[in-house]
Structure 1
Amino acid sequence: MKYYILLLVTFISTFSCTQEKECLIAQNVSLDNFFGGKETLTLKNDSSFSFTSVPNNKSFGKGSIISGKYKLFNDTIYLKIKKLSTKIILAGDQIELLPLNAKIKILKNNLSIKNSYQFKIPKDFTVFTYTESLKNYFDYPVKATKISLHDFEKLESIIQKQISLNITKFRKHKSQSDYFKQCIFIINANNEKEVWLQGISKKSSLRNLGKTIS
């Protein structure tokens, strides 16, 4: 997915945080020996942040670090590097970098900021918030929608039914839990909730589970 840096064009308010040095720590770890590595985002109570990336494969170098300042505005965190900024929101137990459409798991959070989801996203699901940067995933006009825990329960049921009906196609994958699932929830022109869904096999073979009306 393409990464866009957004200009900060709005007034930013101050933030509140505990007296601890780190307000938020989020981290992704991949054990893949070639492409994997560890990425860590840290927000501190002095308004500074750092993002470190350390590859497992040392032929790619020792890694990199990006640092700058951050500020809060309503439910959005803005990371500023010189005159440019990018924004992130809290989504369940993860943070979502909106321009990058990437997720990082939250390990610690003492920020006084509203979470986009008031429930814990079920295990194995990653949800990307629909924005204009994702419009190419759909061939017709759509808009963003709110989601609930019931949406995930229904989606799991639909996926499991499709696997059971096409057992030869899915081979060793007998359960929806055999996949990590990436989702974009939207509303289509018929006012139906629709989900773009990609399943990534836990058994090391990629398979797209397709698009589902829920």
Structure 2
Amino acid sequence: MKIASVFFRIIIFLSFCKCQPTKKEKLNILEAEHISPYNEVNTSIKFYDDSTYTFNLFQKSSYYEKNEKYSGKYLLEKDTIKFIDRGFQFLTCRIAVINNGFVEFIGGSAPLKLKITESRIKDVYAINSLDSSYAFFTYHPNYYDFFSEKVKSYSLKKNDVLVINNLLELCIAENNNRITHNVNSYTKQCVAVTNANNEIEVIVYCNCKDNDEGFHYQIMTVKDGGDCHFSVKLNLIKGKYSQLYINGSA
């Protein structure tokens, strides 16, 4: 009887365990990262299907190593990620956007872009078959103060990029005594807005190509270097350029 009683208890225990629901694993719906080529600062973020996220920052130098971790909750509305509760604490911002293969954090203490490595979310502003020498940055007055009037951020379309390329070619051709490289020799960093007349204006930073992919992540500011570095303001509706600035030689 004792053996039968023990056996019966085991059966009851196993049946109870089987009836308990297993904890559902969180599913990654979006991952993005920036791995520094020099391993000095590496950042990554993961968004999960339960509306939570985790953010990791790893810093390394010859003197120390530091690993910071942040977590929180978010809401997804089309291409916009809204950080709720305390916001995105690392940069003290509340919004990020999905734009052309990157997650870009808006309005924080500093600009930040991370390249998307895995996604179950449609990138509604992705420009397919785009020349990889272009990089796009979302306008925010905290970072960019070169537009003189009240403007609104604008997401460039593929046809806009074709217009930009044509205007850059025109600019170079009309200033060939000062700019000696062709348009394909440069990386192009673009910040686009619409002005009070609903015209599309774009500031473009052009820098001679090298093997560094860092131009996708932040606007490059270079002193000297001659015509390997220039910036120009374009009006895509009027088909005109202005405010051409070419770096001086060292």
What is the TM-score of this pair, normalised by structure 2? 0.62
Instruction: Give the equivalent residue in structure 2 for 1:117.
Output: 125
Indicate the residue corresponding to 2:235 in structure 1: 213
Instruction: Pick closer, same or farther for the CA change 1:191–1:21 going to 2, 3 Å.
Output: closer
Percent of matched pairs sharing the same residue: 19
Moved over 6 A (4+): none
Give the structure 2 partner of residue 139 of structure 1: 148
2:178 alignment partner in structure 1: 169
| Cα separation, 2, equivalents of 1:21 and 1:191 | 41
In the alignment, the residues of structure 2 paired with residue 170 and residue 30 of structure 1 have an alpha-carbon distance, to the nearest angstrom, of 31
Aligned pairs for 1:42-121 within 5 A: 42-46=46-50, 47-55=52-60, 58-59=61-62, 61-75=64-78, 76-79=80-83, 83-85=86-88, 86-99=94-107, 100-111=110-121, 115-120=123-128
- Structure 1 unaligned spans of 5+: 1-18
Answer with 68-77 or 150-159: which moved more.
Answer: 68-77
Shift of 1:116: 4.4
**1:25 — aligned with what?**
31
Query: Which structure ranks higher in relative contact order (CA pairs < 8 Å, sequence separation ≥ 6)?
Result: 1
Alignment partners' CA distance in 2, 1:213 and 1:36: 38
Normalising by structure 1, we get a TM-score of 0.71
Contact 1:89 / 1:116 at 8 angstroms: preserved in 2? no
Amino acid at match of 2:234: T
* C-alpha distance 213-95 of structure 1, shift in aligned 2 (>3 A): same
Cα root mean square deviation, aligned: 3.0
Deviation digits for residues 146-190 of structure 1 (CA, Å, limit 9, x no counterpart): 43100001101111232233344334xx23232222212112234
Q: CA deviation at 1:88?
A: 0.9
CA drift at 1:26 = 1.0
Question: Aligned partners of 1:41, 1:129: CA distance in 2, in Å?
Answer: 19
1:125-204 correspondence runs (5 A)? 125-134=134-143, 136-171=145-180, 174-203=181-210
Structure 2 regions of 5+ residues with no counterpart?
1-24, 89-93, 213-224, 237-250
The change in CA–CA distance for 1:73 and 1:23 in structure 2 (over 3 A counts) is closer
Q: Structure 1 23/60 Cα, relative in aligned 2: closer, same or farther at 3 Å?
A: farther
